[in-house]
């Protein structure tokens, strides 16, 4: 039915519904090389007062690892948390001789429900705290056009949650900014991004807001509290490939005009920390020198060594992404 609710979760039960969500448990941080392990620990993923919390904590506070372990131990994810959902990139087993064990534990969940065209609303509050990187995003269920970025990625919301992060031009790009991005392209080296930002001139985004995706065979629109941030409009007679004047071999020649965004996607909610990606640029000005650089051989080690600066900015549940509800509607 047009506009019918395809999926909704208000997080009113005591625990996350396993029929709605897959809880990722892995230390495989991917090419962004982030500093967290995703766990199923109730300190990282829990429901309280009708809200879902995805909260980063310190690995040494878990009861499983000591400070000594970070530098000299082994992290067996399945042994520690009972399962491992993603093995690549040292996702199930890490040895400190290959680099500091990841110093942060956090949470990521993937929706079992998928959507192809319609509207997704996530009402959520992003964290506050240095180097915290929350995201509300979607990935293709079957990747019918090939591996990333050929089959696309939809990032409804990403943020760098530092209180103080400023570009040379004076623009505040910490918690005063949220970003929405579409990724598409022929390979990792040719990731075409369609993106924009929403800035707060006063205050910040650390409050509840409605993050929305409106998606049709003609366009993809992402908004915050109905303020449009990023949009893709593909006119009749054109295609994504032609519209953005992309080069190489078109992986979407057998798709519709909005391909790769003409297939089923699932929703992801996660809170990452750090990483060697442009979310935390080396040339951005922070409240203190960034403790790692994006070309470090062991960035997590340098991040951890600088905790005397960033840990005082982490306060209780403020570091969590708090989700009120998630809703998917058919077009």
Look up the CATH number of the domain holding residue 312.
Answer: 2.60.120.200
**The total number of structural domains that make up the chain:** 1
- pLDDT tens digits for range 229-275: 999 999 999 999 999 999 999 999 999 999 999 999 999 999 999 99
- Phi, psi (degrees; rounded to nearest 5) at 130: -65, 135
Q: Give the domain range for residue 163.
A: 5-330
Rounded to whole angstroms, the Cα distance separating 132 from 163 reads 11
pLDDT at residue 2 above 80? no
Backbone conformation region of residue 49, classed left if phi is above 0, alpha if psi is from -120 to 50, else beta: left
- pLDDT tens digits for range 170-214: 999 999 999 999 999 999 999 999 999 999 989 999 999 999 999
Rounded to whole angstroms, the Cα distance separating 118 from 89 reads 34
- pLDDT tens digits for range 51-87: 999 999 999 999 999 999 999 999 999 999 999 999 9
- pLDDT tens digits for range 295-310: 999 999 999 999 999 9
């Amino acid at each position: 039915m047009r506009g019918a609710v395809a999926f909704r979760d208000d997080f009113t039960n005591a625990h996350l519904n396993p029929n709605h969500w897959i809880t990722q448990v892995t230390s495989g941080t991917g090419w962004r090389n982030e500093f967290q392990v995703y766990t199923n620990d109730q300190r990282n993923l829990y429901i309280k007062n009708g809200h879902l919390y995805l909260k980063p904590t310190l690995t040494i506070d878990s009861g499983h690892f000591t400070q000594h372990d970070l530098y000299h131990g082994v992290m067996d994810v399945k042994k520690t948390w009972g399962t491992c959902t993603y093995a690549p990139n040292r996702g199930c087993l890490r040895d400190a001789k290959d680099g500091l064990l990841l110093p942060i534990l956090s949470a990521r969940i993937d929706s079992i429900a998928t959507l192809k065209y319609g509207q997704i609303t996530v009402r959520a509050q992003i964290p506050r705290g240095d180097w915290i990187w929350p995201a509300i995003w979607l990935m293709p269920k079957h990747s019918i056009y090939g591996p990333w970025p050929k089959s696309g990625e939809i990032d409804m919301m990403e943020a760098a949650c530092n209180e103080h992060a400023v570009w040379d031009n004076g623009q505040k790009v910490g918690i005063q900014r949220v970003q929405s991005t579409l990724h598409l392209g022929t390979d990792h080296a040719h990731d075409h991004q369609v993106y924009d930002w929403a800035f707060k001139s006063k205050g910040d985004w650390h409050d509840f807001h409605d993050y929305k995706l409106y998606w049709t065979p003609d366009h993809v629109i992402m908004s915050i509290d109905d303020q449009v941030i990023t949009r893709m409009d593909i006119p009749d007679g054109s295609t994504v490939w032609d519209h953005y004047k992309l080069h190489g071999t078109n992986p979407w020649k057998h798709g519709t005009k909005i391909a790769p965004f003409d297939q089923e996607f699932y929703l992801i909610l996660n809170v990452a920390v750090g990483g060697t990606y442009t979310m935390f640029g080396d040339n951005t000005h922070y409240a203190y020198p960034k403790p790692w650089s994006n070309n470090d051989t062991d960035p997590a080690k340098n991040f951890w060594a600088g905790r005397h600066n960033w840990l005082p900015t982490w306060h209780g549940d403020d570091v969590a992404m708090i989700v009120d509800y998630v809703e998917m509607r058919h077009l």
